[in-house]
């Protein structure tokens, strides 16, 4: 799991399996830092209820004075009353460091790369009900520096390590009493371009094996609140396309289960999430079905939206069948392709304009309307390049990123 140092975070909701109580437990992970963290930068933080910052069960972070990792723990609001800055050990840049913390029969131990670094008596009751944050302690403050994490494992009820040991030489497994295991190897919905710092799955968006194109599963949004949001409020990301006449290609495979008479979105679209057409946080690019017609709408430099429309049946849309969809813009002409055949073409009357607060939404509009019951595969956004200028043969294998 890669964290780019700009605020990436992973949040895990609270659960009784993370409440260690007064019993034995193990916290462990592998960490590969590529930049030395600043002091107090957080790796793992447990319990973020009570306004996020009131108190924690435990907090693993960078020392203020050296390359040590430190462990803070507490059981009362604003009181670090168990121990203060217990050292885990010194870490190295640009290599994997194995970190472990255990408690057995009231003795807390910290390990760095298999070596015991500190031991302290500890019978604290870790029963707070909050969840776990990885890379920051309250969602924004003290984010981890650039680097990767793997095999984050929490074991409730067992001290896996009690003395010096050889760090694991293979991926960790869910041994007895494992309550959390994040290996970073089995994500179903990923950004293979590695340009998106955020990928948010709303409602119960997931992969499904019911319909698949070139892989064993496909992304599925069920039309009742599901959607994917990515590149949320991050200037590094490709949230806008076509702005100022910039060429682009947006393409994907879809298996659409919804009637065209039912209002729903078609493919990725952009905007700020508040609806309407404005530069602050309105819509930017939308492609959707409404009233038995297909619409493309975009926000232009003239300050209003522009519309292109077509009839689904004459364009070549087919329900309950995999189809390759693509639309392109060369700075003047916008084209829409279905299964490689040009279905619509238009010279845009205005150059597309940016929306200040913008993200890409798949499965619904940015304002969380027009939800689609659709399977998706190989959703690709290309800025600065028109991949298709005339009718073409759609990809015959999965895209490689």
Would you place residue 235 in the very low, low, confident or very high pLDDT band (cuts 50, 70, 90)?
very low
Distance CA 212, CA 388 (A): 24
Q: Specify the higher pLDDT residue, 327 or 140.
A: 327
Other CB atoms within a 10 A radius of the CB of residue 232 amount to 18
Distances (CA, A) of 172 to 56, 165, 243: 26, 15, 46
Does the pLDDT of residue 224 top 90, yes or no?
Answer: yes
Here the tokens at position 372 are 């689609």
Q: Specify the higher pLDDT residue, 18 or 321.
A: 321
Q: What is the mean pLDDT of residues 83-87?
A: 70
Reported pTM: 0.64
Q: Determine contact, residues 390/342, Cβ cutoff 8 Å.
A: yes
- Ranges 146-155, 270-279, 314-323, most confident: 314-323
291's CB contacts (< 8 A; 6+ apart) are 261, 263
pLDDT score for 195 = 63
Q: Determine contact, residues 230/359, Cβ cutoff 8 Å.
A: yes
User: In 47-131, at which residue ranges do the beta strands (DSSP E only) sit?
Assistant: 58-62, 68-73, 83-90, 97-104, 107-112, 115-121
CA dihedral 74, 79, 84, 90 (to 10 degrees): 60
Would you place residue 377 in the very low, low, confident or very high pLDDT band (cuts 50, 70, 90)?
very high
Q: Which range has the worst mean pLDDT, 22-31, 116-125, 347-356?
A: 116-125
pLDDT score for 218 = 94
Here the tokens at position 383 are 């800025």
Q: Percentage of the chain with pLDDT > 70?
A: 84
Query: Which CATH number is 2-182 given?
Result: 2.60.120.200
What H or E segment, with its residue span, contains residue 214?
Answer: none
List, for residues 160-174, the tens digit of each pLDDT value.
999 999 999 998 999
Residue of 107, 60, 124, 114 whose CA lies nearest to 87: 60
Residue of 198, 351, 355, 352 whose CA lies nearest to 275: 355
What count of Cα atoms within 13 Å lies in the side-chain half-sphere of residue 38?
Answer: 6
Q: What is the mean pLDDT of residues 3-9?
A: 73
Q: Percentage of the chain with pLDDT > 90?
A: 54
Domain with CATH 2.60.120.200 in the chain: 2-182, 199-383
Query: Which CATH number is 199-383 given?
Result: 2.60.120.200
Total number of residues shown for the chain = 401
List, for residues 92-120, the tens digit of each pLDDT value.
888 899 999 999 999 999 999 999 999 98
Q: What is the mean pLDDT of residues 72-83?
A: 53
pLDDT score for 50 = 46
């Amino acid at each position: 799991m890669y964290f780019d140092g700009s605020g990436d975070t992973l949040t895990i909701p609270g659960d009784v399996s993370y409440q260690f109580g007064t019993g034995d437990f193990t916290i462990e992970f592998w960490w590969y830092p590529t930049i030395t963290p600043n002091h107090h930068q957080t790796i793992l933080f447990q319990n973020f209820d009570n306004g996020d910052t009131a108190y924690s069960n435990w907090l693993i972070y960078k020392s203020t004075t050296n390359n040590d990792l430190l462990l803070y723990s507490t059981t009362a609001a604003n009181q670090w009353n168990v121990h203060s800055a217990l050292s885990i050990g010194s870490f190295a840049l640009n290599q994997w460091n194995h970190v472990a913390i255990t408690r057995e029969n009231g003795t807390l131990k910290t390990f760095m790369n298999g070596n015991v670094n500190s031991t302290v008596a500890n019978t604290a009751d870790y029963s707070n009900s909050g969840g776990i944050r990885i890379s920051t302690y309250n969602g924004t403050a003290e984010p981890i520096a650039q680097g990767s994490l793997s095999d984050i494992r929490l074991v409730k009820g067992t001290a896996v390590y009690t003395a010096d040991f050889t760090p694991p030489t293979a991926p960790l497994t869910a041994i007895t009493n494992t309550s959390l295991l994040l290996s970073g190897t089995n994500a179903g919905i990923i950004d293979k371009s590695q340009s998106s710092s955020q990928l948010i799955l709303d409602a119960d968006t997931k992969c499904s094996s019911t319909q698949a194109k070139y892989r064993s599963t496909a992304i599925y949004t069920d039309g009742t609140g599901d959607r994917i949001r990515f590149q949320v409020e991050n200037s590094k990301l490709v949230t806008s396309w076509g702005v100022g006449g910039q060429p682009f290609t947006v393409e994907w495979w879809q298996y659409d289960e919804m009637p065209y008479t039912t209002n729903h979105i078609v493919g990725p679209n952009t905007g700020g999430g508040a609806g309407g057409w404005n530069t602050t946080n309105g819509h930017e690019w939308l492609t959707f079905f409404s009233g038995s017609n297909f619409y493309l709408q975009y926000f232009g430099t003239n300050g209003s939206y522009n519309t292109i429309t077509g009839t689904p049946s004459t364009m070549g849309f087919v329900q309950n069948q995999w189809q390759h969809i693509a639309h392109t813009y060369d700075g003047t002409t916008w084209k829409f392709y279905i299964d490689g055949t040009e279905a619509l073409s238009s010279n845009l009357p205005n150059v597309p304009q940016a929306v200040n607060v913008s993200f890409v939404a798949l499965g619904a509009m940015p304002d969380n309307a027009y939800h689609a019951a659709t399977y998706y595969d190989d959703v690709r956004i290309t800025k600065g390049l028109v991949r298709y200028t005339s009718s073409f043969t759609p990809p015959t294998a999965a895209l490689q990123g």
